């Protein structure tokens, strides 16, 4: 089963050689049992190593080896080669969306549903929406260690200078942008040049107007993108946001450029996720004062939202010689007090409910109020995950055109629907 687009035979052979060189032997001389984990997020290494050492207290034979790739693209290519060559790792990082579909179709991972059903407390520790997103064809492909969400960061000094208050509605946000523009300050920094982020404005509107269920139905070809009223209205509001509220030239901007504009005061706001906190703190001037707010309601009566996504999840290789130990370690890092430990260390968001007092205390311990705002907003999250890659790419391409100003809301949805129809009937099921 392909986990990435087909490349040349030469590249595939080189990947097989690379994979063979990366997979250590399963048996170690000092009677340790090695569990090999692959992923692409190097910033998680220290946290996972710390948890592995804690796990060793009850499992002295256990040792964790992490093989970390530079990018998700490299990871997916190497994983595909490893599966084809029968050298997949014990713990396989699952990229949310289409990759989880491909991973389940590969038949490589253990169905974790029976393990969850055998431990109701572990199962209850996850939000239902999280388990649904990781369930393909009635099988739980993997379980996440953390999630993240996207909100709007703002420069408190600029807001105070012009007497601006945090908005809760789109109309209030429009008024703020007018004041900022009239004083030569840019509005919202927006990463339109990154495929994973360029669709945020649409997900913002659709999350409130249509909801996750309708978006998922359209993604899976069970609802029409261009004939569903709530999606049609979402596209119109998306155009309003892109035309009037984001900084000029957003279609070509990526996160580093937007962050520079934000910390230097060229723009007063920045739409971004909790993962940016550490980089932001390193980049900001000493006197920079920043806070964050949820996405304002796009129409009266609608609730504000944040855009949620699974950050990093792991599946267990069903052919692993150390399958039971790999499942036990996955359970260890995704349950109990480790949930809070993980998100506290990584400044991410929990995969399930956490007591607000514990979050408050943890935020004070790490002296990071921004993280508390992100972590506390998990319950109002709406999805930014699509499972059909052709649909996701079609939507991104169309919204790029909208950012530039060449494509209307109707054309955006027509292009996305055309991409969906070209795929035809989906051969997979998402959710429980």
Residues with Cβ within 8 Å of 120's Cβ and at least 6 positions away in sequence, in order, are: none
Please, which pLDDT band fits residue 345 given cuts at 50, 70 and 90? very high
pLDDT number for residue 3 = 55
Question: Phi and psi of 83, rounded to 5°?
Answer: -65, -45
Is the domain of 201 the same as that of 316?
no
Report how far residue 170's alpha carbon sits from residue 241's, in angstroms, rounded to the nearest whole number: 9
pTM of the model: 0.88
Query: Would you say residue 234 lies in a domain?
Result: yes
Is the domain of 138 the same as that of 171?
no
pLDDT number for residue 30 = 66
Does the pLDDT of residue 10 top 60, yes or no?
no
Is the domain of 32 the same as that of 93?
yes
Is the domain of 362 the same as that of 222?
no
Q: Pick the last residue of a domain from 354, 375, 396.
A: 375
Is the domain of 322 the same as that of 247?
no
On whether the CB atoms of residues 192 and 403 are closer than 8 A, the answer is yes
pLDDT of 391-413, one tens digit each? 999 999 999 999 998 899 999 99
Residues with Cβ within 8 Å of 351's Cβ and at least 6 positions away in sequence, in order, are: 125, 126, 127, 130, 143, 144, 145, 146, 147, 310, 334, 339
Q: Where in the sequence is the domain holding 415, given as residue range(s)?
A: 148-308+384-423
pLDDT of 127-148, one tens digit each? 998 999 999 999 999 999 999 9
Q: Which DSSP string do the residues of 310-325 spell out, in sequence order? A: EEEEEEEBTT-TTHHH
Report how far residue 239's alpha carbon sits from residue 109's, in angstroms, rounded to the nearest whole number: 41
Is the domain of 162 the same as that of 79?
no
Is the domain of 316 the same as that of 304?
no
What's the total number of domains in the chain? 2
């Amino acid at each position: 089963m392909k986990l990435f687009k087909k490349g040349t035979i030469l590249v595939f052979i080189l990947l097989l050689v690379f994979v063979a060189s990366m997979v250590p032997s399963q048996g170690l001389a000092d009677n340790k049992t090695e569990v090999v984990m692959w992923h692409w997020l190097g910033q998680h290494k220290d946290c996972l190593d710390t948890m592995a050492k804690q796990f060793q207290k009850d499992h002295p034979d256990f040792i964790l080896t992490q093989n970390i790739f530079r990018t998700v693209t490299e990871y997916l290519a190497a994983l595909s080669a490893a599966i084809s060559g029968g050298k997949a790792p014990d713990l396989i990082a699952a990229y949310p969306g289409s990759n989880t579909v491909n991973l389940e179709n590969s038949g490589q991972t253990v169905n974790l549903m029976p393990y969850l059903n055998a431990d109701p407390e572990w199962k209850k520790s996850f939000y239902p929406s999280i388990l649904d997103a990781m369930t393909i064809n009635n099988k739980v492909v993997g379980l996440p260690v953390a999630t993240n969400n996207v909100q709007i960061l703002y420069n408190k000094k600029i807001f105070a200078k012009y007497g601006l208050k945090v908005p809760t509605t789109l109309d209030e946000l429009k008024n703020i942008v007018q004041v900022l523009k009239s004083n030569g300050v840019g509005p919202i920094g927006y990463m339109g040049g990154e495929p994973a982020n360029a669709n945020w404005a649409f997900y913002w509107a659709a999350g409130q107007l249509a909801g996750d269920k309708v978006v998922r139905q359209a993604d899976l070809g069970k609802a029409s993108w261009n004939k569903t009223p709530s999606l049609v209205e979402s596209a119109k509001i998306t155009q309003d946001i892109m035309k009037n509220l984001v900084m000029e030239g957003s279609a070509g901007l990526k996160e580093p450029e937007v962050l520079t504009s934000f910390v230097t005061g060229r723009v007063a706001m920045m739409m971004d996720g909790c993962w940016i906190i550490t980089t932001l703190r390193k980049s900001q001037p000493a006197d920079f004062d920043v806070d964050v707010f949820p996405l304002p309601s796009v129409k009266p009566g609608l609730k504000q939202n944040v855009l949620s996504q699974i950050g990093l999840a792991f599946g267990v290789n069903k052919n692993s010689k150390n399958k039971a130990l790999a499942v036990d370690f996955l359970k260890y890092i995704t349950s109990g007090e480790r949930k809070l430990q993980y998100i506290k260390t990584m400044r991410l968001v929990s995969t399930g409910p956490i007591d607000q007092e514990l979050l408050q205390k943890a935020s004070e311990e790490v002296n990071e109020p921004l993280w508390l705002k992100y972590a506390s907003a998990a319950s109002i999250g709406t999805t930014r995950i699509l499972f059909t890659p052709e649909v996701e790419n079609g939507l991104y391409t169309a919204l790029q055109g909208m950012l530039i100003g060449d494509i209307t809301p109707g054309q955006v949805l027509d292009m996305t629907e055309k991409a969906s129809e070209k795929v035809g009937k989906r051969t997979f099921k998402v959710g429980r």
